[in-house]
Amino acid sequence: VNRIRLILGDQLNIHHSWFSRVDDSTLYVMAEQRSETDYTLHHAQKLIGVLSAMRAFARELESRGHRVRYFRLGDTDNGHSFQDNISRLMQMHGARSFEWQQPDEYRLEKELESLAESLTVSQADSMADSMADSMADSVADHSSVNTRKFSTEHFISAPEDFDPMVKDGKIPTMERFYRRMRKKTGILMEDDQPVGGKWNYDSENRSPLKDASDLPSMPYSLRNEEELWEEICQEGVESFGSPKAAEFYWPETRTQAQKALNDFLANRLENFGIYQDAMVDGEPFLYHSLISFALNIKLISPGEVIESAVQKWGRKARDDHRVLASLEGFIRQILGWREYMRHVYRNGMPGYGKLNHFNARRPLPSWYWDGKTSMNCLSKAVSQSLEHGYAHHIQRLMITGNFAMLAGVDPDQVDFWYLGVYIDAFQWVEITNTRGMSQYADGGKVATKPYAASASYINRMSDYCKGCSYNKKLRHGENACPFNSLYWHFLHRNRSILADNHRLAMPYRTWDRFDPEEKKAILKYGDDCLKNIERL
């Protein structure tokens, strides 16, 4: 073996150029490490999902003739860190070259950079020690370990698509970046104009779903992962949430992920746009694609997802406005938001991970970990997340995220929960959505205003309020919905920070028109809610 190539658990891209040629002198290394299972508290399904997909990927590589060294969690020679596993293998094989793919996460980027540096130094040292002084001139040549980082060949955009748009440290809005990417790629474009004449159909994509009796079925088949789950437990890896090991459904292979994508395109994309913000009690998936996990571990690529969507619906979208709104809405999530968040992360880390614009310090209520709250919307969104490792965007943004921001929960604790709870949670796309979009803790880098809402929004977009013991209409008094008072409490207490935001001018005008006694009662009820937050 001359060359060792590391593949991370979220780099399962079988179409990467690395694999286009079988080369017996290259050893591919994959490792289930405690450094990865334990850097945060993961949902049980995320652990099962990533490990089973890694194992399937290693089998696929071997079946194509590649040499693979796979460390399982329980292997006695697993050093459980990249430093240990890789440097040992490099020495064992006398390998002269270490290669890796650009990690998405800052933590891993730094770790692998220092591993590469240490390999160069330590190999040079050990070779130098073992050679006679007379041969010293050739040491550098003989001992040098080549280290090289490759692209993951996954994302559509490159740093050059984003970085020139940053002016005096100010990043562009998602909409500007998205339009630039539409123009660059020609996706949904006619010459230099957007198909249909508009760039963005978001305002048409906000309908509640009144009749949920005819929803398409889950696109994934169930499989049994009890053996793997037992292995994880035996090794003492901590986790939370339901493992669903006997009925596991998140994809482990590219074929399963492609099948789910095709199922989405055939059965759900047409209604995706119009109902993408809707929430229905007891229906976690609605018309969403459920492909974020497959995308984030790179079983499928954003380019192929968009291409398949355009191939199937592009022609119809030209003369069916509803289809165009849906298709554009879906493409915006991937070509726009997903690519954009990666650059926001790249551009902002490590400082981004510490931003706390409102100086929020409250601990996360304990019911985020078990769903035991009388607020029906929160109880259902949390319970569903624990059950499936999944909640759709609006549940994450406008229910769990909205409440945490209104209550002034410390963004560190909010991030910790989001990074653990979702099957698709990897820091680059989790923290930008959580700290940025949902908590406004970045002071408006990602969102142009805080996504704050009272019960009237939740009631308009869902049927949660019907089954709730709180009264959605009341701002204070017995059983008044906590969202109503906390909404005003949030705006009131952060006024000095938010007053200049012209998008909040209207709510502040409304607040100023309230009777002083009403204001007092709202703020008092908000205080009581915060004092009794564990009992809400």
Contact string (CB under 6 A) for ligand FAD, positions 382-421, x = contact = ----------xx--xx---x----------------x---
Per DSSP, the three-state class of 413 is helix
Q: How far is the CB of 426 from ligand FAD (least distance, A)?
A: 6
Q: How far is the CB of 70 from ligand FAD (least distance, A)?
A: 26
Closest CB to ligand FAD among residues 334, 486: 334
- How remote is the C-alpha of 257 from its chain's centroid? 17
Fill in the DSSP letter of residue 432.
Answer: I
Question: Is 434 one of the binding residues for ligand FAD (CB under 6 A)?
Answer: yes
Closest CB to ligand SF4 among residues 199, 457: 457
- How remote is the C-alpha of 406 from its chain's centroid? 22
What distance in Å separates the CA atoms of residue 167 and residue 174, rounded to the nearest whole number?
A: 15
What residues between 437 and 456 interact with ligand SF4 by CB under 6 A?
455
Which one of ligand SF4, ligand FAD, none interacts with residue 458, CB within 5 to 8 A by kind?
ligand SF4
Q: How far is the CB of 395 from ligand FAD (least distance, A)?
A: 8
**Binding residue (CB under 6 A) for ligand FAD from 327, 334, 344, 480:** 334
CA angle, 459 then 436 then 264, to 5°: 60
Q: How far is the CB of 517 from ligand SF4 (least distance, A)?
A: 23
Q: How far is the CB of 406 from ligand FAD (least distance, A)?
A: 14
What distance in Å separates the CA atoms of residue 158 and residue 227, rounded to the nearest whole number?
A: 40
Q: Is 479 exposed, middle or buried (0-12, 13-18, 19+ CB in 10 A)?
A: exposed
Among 437, 427, 426, residue whose Cα is nearest residue 353? 427
Question: Is 446 one of the binding residues for ligand FAD (CB under 6 A)?
Answer: no
Question: Is 298 one of the binding residues for ligand FAD (CB under 6 A)?
Answer: no
Closest CB to ligand SF4 among residues 301, 373: 373
What does 443-510 look like in DSSP terms, one character per residue?
SSSS-SS-----HHHHHHHBSGGGG-SSBTT-SSSTTB-HHHHHHHHHHHHTHHHHTT-GGGHHHHHH
Closest CB to ligand SF4 among residues 124, 474: 474
Task: Please count the residues of this chain forming the interface with ligand SF4, following the rule CB under 6 A.
Answer: 13
Answer yes or no: are the C-beta atoms of 407 and 361 closer than 8 Å: no
Question: Is 368 one of the binding residues for ligand FAD (CB under 6 A)?
Answer: no
Answer yes or no: are the C-beta atoms of 237 and 73 closer than 8 Å: yes
For the chain, how long is the longest CA-to-CA vector? 91
Which one of ligand SF4, ligand FAD, none interacts with residue 468, CB within 5 to 8 A by kind?
ligand SF4
Host H or E run for residue 208: none
Q: How far is the CB of 211 from ligand FAD (least distance, A)?
A: 20
Which one of ligand FAD, ligand SF4, none interacts with residue 470, CB within 5 to 8 A by kind?
ligand SF4
Helices (H) and strands (E) in the chain, counts: 24, 9
Question: Is 458 one of the binding residues for ligand SF4 (CB under 6 A)?
Answer: yes
Fill in the DSSP letter of residue 28.
Answer: E
**Binding residue (CB under 6 A) for ligand FAD from 182, 298, 338, 475:** 338
Question: Is 437 one of the binding residues for ligand FAD (CB under 6 A)?
Answer: yes
Answer yes or no: are the C-beta atoms of 470 and 481 closer than 8 Å: yes
By CB under 6 A, which span of 32-40, 82-90, 369-377, 487-495 interacts with ligand SF4? 369-377
By CB under 6 A, which span of 119-127, 190-198, 235-243, 433-441 interacts with ligand FAD? 433-441
Closest CB to ligand FAD among residues 288, 380: 288
Per DSSP, the three-state class of 265 is helix
**Binding residue (CB under 6 A) for ligand SF4 from 47, 127, 228, 375:** 375
By CB under 6 A, which span of 102-110, 130-138, 307-315, 428-436 interacts with ligand FAD? 428-436
Per DSSP, the three-state class of 214 is coil
Q: Is 74 exposed, middle or buried (0-12, 13-18, 19+ CB in 10 A)?
A: exposed
**Binding residue (CB under 6 A) for ligand SF4 from 53, 95, 237, 481:** 481
**Binding residue (CB under 6 A) for ligand SF4 from 470, 487, 488, 490:** 470
How many residues in the chain?
536
Which one of ligand FAD, ligand SF4, none interacts with residue 433, CB within 5 to 8 A by kind?
ligand FAD
Task: Please count the residues of this chain forming the interface with ligand FAD, following the rule CB under 6 A.
Answer: 27
Which residues are within 8 A (CB) of 186 and not within 5 positions of it... i.e. 6 or more apart? none
| H-helix segments, 186-251 | 226-234
Q: How far is the CB of 514 from ligand FAD (least distance, A)?
A: 30
What does 280-339 look like in DSSP terms, one character per residue?
BTTBS-TT----HHHHHTTSS-HHHHHHHHHHHHHHHHHH-HHHHHHHHHHHIIIIIIIH
What residues between 231 and 290 interact with ligand FAD by CB under 6 A?
288-290
- Give the β-pairing of 189-190 and 193-194: antiparallel
Closest CB to ligand FAD among residues 159, 467: 159
Question: Is 46 one of the binding residues for ligand FAD (CB under 6 A)?
Answer: no
Closest CB to ligand SF4 among residues 334, 480: 480
Q: How far is the CB of 329 from ligand FAD (least distance, A)?
A: 9
Question: Is 465 one of the binding residues for ligand SF4 (CB under 6 A)?
Answer: yes
Answer yes or no: are the C-beta atoms of 219 and 290 closer than 8 Å: yes
Q: Which residues bind ligand FAD (CB under 6 A)?
A: 288-292, 295-296, 333-334, 337-338, 341, 392-393, 396-397, 401, 418, 422, 424-425, 429-430, 433-434, 437-438
